[in-house]
Amino acid sequence: MTSPNIDTDVAVLGGGILGVSTAVHLLREGASVVLITESTLASGATGRSLSWLNSAGKRSDAYHLLRTAGIDRYRTLYAADPSREWLQFDGGLYWAPAGEASKAEARHQYERSHGYASMLVKPEQISPLTPGIDETAVADVAVFNPGEGWVSLPHLVEYLMEEFHALGGTLITDAGKSRVLARDGKAWGVGIQDGSVYTANNVVVACGAATPAVVEEHGVYIANGSPVSALIITEPANNKLKAVLNTPRAAARPNPGGTLALDHGWYEEQIVEEADGSFSIPEDVVQELAEEASRLLEGNPQLTAASWKVGRKPIPGDGEPVFGELEKLPGCFVAFSHSGATVGLIAGEFLSFEILSGQKHPMLEPFRPERFSRS
């Protein structure tokens, strides 16, 4: 760890995709930046995200626009080198439980109504569109979104950190629980667990599900709806899957090295919070999810879990992102979002603009922290 009491333009608290993206965008514009993370980089939600790049389904118009702009930035990155194994655009496929085809149909109609690429397909139409899927797993109809993709966020963080270091950023890892420091009603730095202080003109809090707790000390309330979730990475599997699958009992996507990333929500109640605040999940539940995913794949290959991570999935109380400077604590900016993958690059770009220009970006205006109140 570097020496304490560094004076810098911006201190970014959080080593996930939102913190790293913001730090790199700031450095690109000539700011001096210290990036502080509780443990190692991508050790929180960024390291256990399905990271499906999409704006599928129904949400507010403003959130849809932000997400589609986020996808655009990933497409630019993808176009620079389509051979990257950790960022691909091969579409997404969704279907509802058997007998509930109306849900898929309604989703498709809504997506088409605002120009989102969406195709309603029968099981026998899936293989010509995207490979590697057992069509018999689809009971009724499915929605195929050809413009969607996925990213392995730990790989993206590693890629961005190469630029971070090249531009002279300072990285502080294993800092433990950290605090935003304030004086005369303004943020002026970050204090870490060992007592070191990093002074800054501005502070960014991008601590995933812990973000509301970090700013609550300063009288700021942000509703927190973050549930527990898990991400499972399989052993290398013999499969041809290209698309991201979102199905009634399993979500799955390709992952570097021929592995698959799996998650879902049906097992959340079986996740156990330990006395030390960590989480665990029964191994038979992990195996059940792997078996559910196997049923989705052509040939139903045996899937074996190689590793899994469990923790809170960052979701603000109303489901919409929280971005921008705190009115109660000038100089302190927050970044808190369920769609950290999809909006990760664009959010860092817009927050950097706000911090360095002093202007508010209009696309972040609907997502200000002040929309919450305890009442």
Residue 161 and residue 300 share a domain: no
Tell me the average pLDDT across 288-300.
98
Residue 232 and residue 144 share a domain: yes
Quote the crossing angle between the two packed helices 153-166 and 17-28, to the nearest 10°.
30
* Tens-digit pLDDT profile for residues 69-109: 999 999 999 999 999 999 999 999 999 999 999 999 999 99
Calculate ∠ Cα 43-46-52, nearest 5°.
155
CB 227 within 8 A of CB 312: yes
* Tens-digit pLDDT profile for residues 228-238: 999 999 999 99
Q: Helices (DSSP H) in 58-190: which residue ranges?
A: 61-80, 101-113, 126-129, 153-166
Closest CA to 20 of 253, 207, 145: 207
* Tens-digit pLDDT profile for residues 32-58: 999 999 999 999 999 999 999 999 999
Exposed / middle / buried, residue 3 (Cβ in 10 Å: 0-12, 13-18, 19+): exposed
> pLDDT-derived band of residue 277, with 50, 70 and 90 as boundaries?
confident
- The mean predicted confidence, pLDDT, of the chain is 96
Question: Does the pLDDT of residue 8 top 90, yes or no?
Answer: no
Question: Does the pLDDT of residue 219 top 90, yes or no?
Answer: yes
Instruction: Round to whole Å and give the CA distance between 88 and 146.
Output: 12
Residue 137 and residue 232 share a domain: yes
Residue 68 lies in a domain: no
Residue 232 and residue 216 share a domain: no
Q: How many separate domains does the chain show?
A: 2
Residue 73 lies in a domain: no
Question: Does the pLDDT of residue 2 top 60, yes or no?
Answer: no
CA distances from 251 to 126, 179, 259, 292 (A): 17, 36, 14, 9
- Its pTM stands at 0.96
CB 289 within 8 A of CB 303: no
Residue 158 and residue 105 share a domain: no
Give pLDDT, residue 5. Answer: 58
Residue 220 and residue 327 share a domain: yes
Calculate ∠ Cα 348-205-175, nearest 5°.
115
Residue 69 lies in a domain: no
Percent of the chain with pLDDT over 90: 96
Residue 353 lies in a domain: yes
Helices vs strands, H then E, count in the chain: 8, 21
* Tens-digit pLDDT profile for residues 147-201: 999 999 999 999 999 999 999 999 999 999 999 999 999 999 999 999 999 999 9
Q: What is the CATH number for 195?
A: 3.50.50.60
Exposed / middle / buried, residue 189 (Cβ in 10 Å: 0-12, 13-18, 19+): buried
Q: What is the DSSP string of 35-51?
A: EE-SSSTT-SGGGG---
Question: Does the pLDDT of residue 216 top 70, yes or no?
Answer: yes
Query: Token pair for residue 360?
Result: 């508010």
Query: Which range marks the domain in which residue 335 is found?
Result: 7-47+154-225+317-371
Residue 120 and residue 17 share a domain: no
Q: What single DSSP character describes residue 197? A: E
Question: Does the pLDDT of residue 1 top 60, yes or no?
Answer: no
Question: Does the pLDDT of residue 24 top 70, yes or no?
Answer: yes
Q: What is the CATH number for 294?
A: 3.30.9.10
Give pLDDT, residue 374. Answer: 60
Percent of the chain with pLDDT over 70: 98
> pLDDT-derived band of residue 299, with 50, 70 and 90 as boundaries?
very high
Residue 340 lies in a domain: yes
> pLDDT-derived band of residue 373, with 50, 70 and 90 as boundaries?
confident
Calculate ∠ Cα 282-288-290, nearest 5°.
110
